[in-house]
Amino acid sequence: MTIQVAKLSDPAVRAFVSAVNAHDREAFQALLTPDATMSDDGSDRDLDEWTDREIFSSHGHMEVDNESNGGRALIARYSNDAWGEMKTRWSFTVDDGGRISRFETGQA
């Protein structure tokens, strides 16, 4: 059962999913700390290159099925034009100012 984006517990994660689904690169980048990092399937990636390829240029979309860790860990069906739909896991590190300093994703 999908969790509506508006009902996601953590405000930063809720804004992240909203920005991804709206294809709003500006809002997405505003959520991240200047030194934010990310990994995909356990390997660190270049954040700008990865988000352009996997989210914005390929119309990424998240349907969240489950959240844990206070809303900072998600299981979601992620789809984009490159890979189709897959079950994915996401975890987020949020700083004291409410911005995301790291996210990790991969197949669930």
Q: For the chain, what is the largest distance between any 2 Cα atoms, rounded to a whole number of angstroms?
A: 35
**Could you count the other beta carbons within 10 Å of the beta carbon of residue 69?**
12
pLDDT band at 58 (very low <50, low <70, confident <90, very high): very high
Rounded percentage of the chain residues whose pLDDT exceeds 70: 100
Q: Which residue has the higher pLDDT, 1 or 97?
A: 97
Please report the DSSP string for 20-81 in residue order. HHHT-HHHHHHTEEEEEEEEETTEEE-HHHHHIIIIITTT-EEEEEEEEGGGTEEEEEEEET
Residue 51 pLDDT > 90: yes
The model carries a pTM of 0.96
